[in-house]
Amino acid sequence: METVDQLNKVLSFVKESFVGKNEIIDLLGISLIARENAFLLGPPGTAKSAIIRQLSMCIEGGKNFEYLLTRFTEPNEIFGPFDIRKLKEGELVTNTEGMMPEASLVFLDEIFNANSAILNSLLMALNERIFRRGRETRKLPALMFVGASNVLPEDETLNALLDRFLVRMKCDYVDPDLLNEVLLAGWTLENREASERPFIIPEEVVTLQQACRKVDLTPIRKQYVDLVHSLRSTGIKVSDRRGVKIQNLIAASALMCKRKEAILSDLWVMKYIWDTEEQIEILAGIIDSVIAKETSMHSHPQALFNTAPNGEELIKEVQLLQNRWSTQTLSFEEQNVIKDKLRYVQTRNSWIKNAEHQQHIQTAIDSLWQSILQAV
């Protein structure tokens, strides 16, 4: 388990450099040892690239590849050009030196700018860790792929690309109250010596990835199956393929806590399998209500972090839903989204400790349910 300690040192180091990003950094660690791809959604200036760059610098001896995609990006820019010497001999061989096919950690910014010329090759690389070009076929050494974008794809042809990223994270601006800490951490990062960084080598990461596959999921198998059924009935797509892959994330959460078997709270990773921003709160409500029953003291730090609801925020959410319901002409799908969010708020409200506050919020919830029922 010394390798787990080493990875945790790396993650702690990255957290010190980026205030308010612990959740994202922990999830990148989970994705790394689960060998699953991660996606960051957020506006410019939220440190998406900087976090990945800092993490990649802590993988000693690994070749890392970072690229900002545009609509005009050509395959040569990602995979490498054809080897001119071989081309003269009549062979089509790609010179991949310094390019994605040789990288340990791959970061593709503005991933949804990918055009048709590179899309198929990217999909195969992301899903099967294979690079294929003409007669060439190579296994990729990539430990993890990370994609980022300011927006989710609108073009249906790019949905397949999003589907290749199992973990999805929202990367927003840090709370204004933490601005002083952000500035201080940023200044420290700019002046930090390379010798101060902890390192983990690619071979150690591979060892963790292999150990991840040996974690016993039997203790939570039933709860996991029930949860997948619940999510599907709510309208959140969990395909059989994704259902199988999510198990890697659950196992990674256990391994990060130096456990050889999963516990109920390891299901926290399922909060990050959303397809749309509307699903983020709905997923959080469903998953939090399950993992709140955890009795073990050995949960991952992110499992029960910040699950206690804020009464003022809940009542504002109810009022916002009320306004949306009463002032807009809503489609059937939009009505269902409001209902799902209201159920989520209702679940969260049951955790409010102050009985008077809980009753006040419940009254507002009941009133909105009444309006919804009258409209049916």
Instruction: Give pTM, 2 decimals.
Output: 0.80
| pLDDT over 60 at 354, yes or no | yes
Average pLDDT over all residues of the chain: 88
pLDDT category at 241 given cuts 50, 70, 90 is: very high
pLDDT for res 376? 64
Tokens encoding 40: 């960051």
- Residue with tokens 């794809």, as numbered in its chain: 153
pLDDT category at 146 given cuts 50, 70, 90 is: very high
* CA 15 – CA 42 distance, rounded (Å): 18
H/E element, 230: helix 221-234
Q: Which of 304, 300, 279 is nearest to 34 (CA)?
A: 300
pLDDT in tens, 76-130: 999 988 777 766 666 777 888 889 999 999 999 999 999 988 998 899 999 999 9
Positive or negative, the Cα torsion across 161, 266, 104, 127?
Answer: negative
* Neighbouring residues of 135: CB distance < 8 A, sequence distance ≥ 6: 92
pLDDT category at 279 given cuts 50, 70, 90 is: very high
| pLDDT over 60 at 306, yes or no | no
pLDDT for res 90? 63
pLDDT category at 328 given cuts 50, 70, 90 is: low
| pLDDT over 70 at 339, yes or no | yes
Beginning with the edge strand found earlier in the chain, give each strand of the sheet holding 105-109 in spatial order. 64-68, 105-109, 144-149, 38-41, 167-170
* CA 195 – CA 34 distance, rounded (Å): 28
pLDDT category at 308 given cuts 50, 70, 90 is: low
Burial 142-153 (b: 16+ CB within 10 A, else e): bbbbbbbbeebb
Positive or negative, the Cα torsion across 164, 167, 168, 174?
Answer: negative
* CA 183 – CA 278 distance, rounded (Å): 31
